[in-house]
Amino acid sequence: MNLRELEYLVALADQRNFHRAAEVCRASQPTLSAQIRKLEKELGVRLFERAPRGLILTQAGEAAVRRARAILDEVAQLRDEAARHCAGGTRRLHLGVFPTLGPYLLPHVVPRFMRSFPSTEILLTEEKSSILLRRLVDGQIDAVLLALPVEDPHLTGRKLFSEPLRLAVPCGHELAGRAQAPADALSSQQLMLLEEGHCLRDQALALCRRYGVREYDDFRGTSLETLRQMVIAGMGVTLLPQLACVGAAVSSDMALLHLESGDFRRDIGLFWRKTSGATDLMESLAELIATVAGELMASSEQSRSH
């Protein structure tokens, strides 16, 4: 039995699907399946029932998963303590962030963090939210920026800021001349959205259902930059977070509209394990990120008003 097998077990318990669990663990599905079978053989019990609608944890499986989480958490604490005592007294902070936030926020956060905490090395991982959450719980990273809500009994954290979403339309669009668009104007639009797995897609779909907006079915974007270029090319409209609408990201071939309804926003928070021994550092990082994000959004609003 090894730690990797325990990570597979916990991921499978969370996902209840071999394909999704393998994706979270960055392993092939046959590898994950084989390791789970090996673990069941070693323990002498079945950990999962293979039901028609998915996997069900057996009673022995539930006990094993509880124990595996505790072991992985202890290992994470061991890594935290070792990092705080590495050569030269340098601490290490491994931060995760999802792709529709990282490129627009971290270039402004990291230099200030390095100036404020010169004895702390910061490592960055950019991944989809579900993968980041799993790695945080498993102790592979120390803290994660995520869109709220986040509900996991092993984590704590705090909301940092609320980021408005802007409607991006081609410059020749019927709404392009407006500074603000009423929510009911969206009911006649088809939104281009990101591919599955992005939390921003899930948020946008929820808004689509609420306001009667349709998704543009013939296209799925792989990134916000892809969506932006499709708007500029006149292929349709989309929703962009405000931090992605700053400086060089703004094009004269695209209009960015405020949306009348306050529902078009996302809340961003920083989360870490409750058992982390670096709570002081996490709180300081949270304050820094909240400050930087607030400054960026205020600067964005000022530039639009001139």
Q: Where are the domains of the chain?
A: 3-81, 89-161+266-305, 164-265
Q: Indicate whether 253 pLDDT > 90.
A: no
Query: Residue 248 has what pLDDT?
Result: 47
Query: Residue 20 has what pLDDT?
Result: 87
Q: Indicate whether 156 pLDDT > 90.
A: yes
Query: Is the Cα dihedral 215, 216, 219, 222 positive or negative?
Result: negative
Q: Indicate whether 249 pLDDT > 60.
A: no
- What DSSP character marks residue 50? E
In sequence order, what are the residues at sequence separation of 6 or more whose Cβ sits closer than 8 angstroms to the Cβ of residue 204? 165, 191, 193, 194, 239
Instruction: Give the architecture (CATH level 2) of 164-265.
Output: 3-Layer(aba) Sandwich (3.40)
Query: Residue 150 has what pLDDT?
Result: 92
Identical fold at 89-161+266-305 and 164-265?
A: yes
Using CA atoms, how far apart are residues 269 and 144, in angstroms rounded to an integer? 8
pLDDT band (50, 70, 90) for residue 45: very high
Using CA atoms, how far apart are residues 244 and 165, in angstroms rounded to an integer? 9
Q: Indicate whether 287 pLDDT > 60.
A: yes
Q: Indicate whether 8 pLDDT > 60.
A: yes
pLDDT band (50, 70, 90) for residue 201: confident
User: Of residues 247 and 172, which shows the higher confidence score?
Assistant: 172
8 A C-beta contact, residue 82 and residue 277? no
- Determine the length of the chain: 306
The whole-number average pLDDT for the span 78-83 is 71
Query: Residue 31 has what pLDDT?
Result: 93
The whole-number average pLDDT for the span 77-89 is 65
CATH fold for domain 3-81: Arc Repressor Mutant, subunit A (1.10.10)
- The three-state secondary structure class of 161 is strand
Exposed, middle or buried: residue 262 (CB in 10 Å: 0-12, 13-18, 19+)?
exposed
Worst-scoring range by mean pLDDT, 51-60, 205-214, 265-274, 285-294? 205-214
The whole-number average pLDDT for the span 38-58 is 89
Q: Indicate whether 50 pLDDT > 90.
A: no
Query: Residue 295 has what pLDDT?
Result: 92
Q: Which residue type is seen at 50?
A: R
∠ Cα 191 193 196 (to 5°): 145
**Highest mean pLDDT out of 141-145, 217-221, 249-253:** 141-145
Q: Count the Cβ atoms, other than its own, within 10 Å of residue 72.
A: 20
String of DSSP letters for 3-28: HHHHHHHHHHHHH-SHHHHHHHHT--
Exposed, middle or buried: residue 30 (CB in 10 Å: 0-12, 13-18, 19+)?
exposed
Q: Indicate whether 304 pLDDT > 70.
A: no
Query: Residue 83 has what pLDDT?
Result: 64
The whole-number average pLDDT for the span 274-299 is 91
Q: Indicate whether 303 pLDDT > 60.
A: no
- The three-state secondary structure class of 219 is strand
Domain 89-161+266-305, CATH? 3.40.190.10
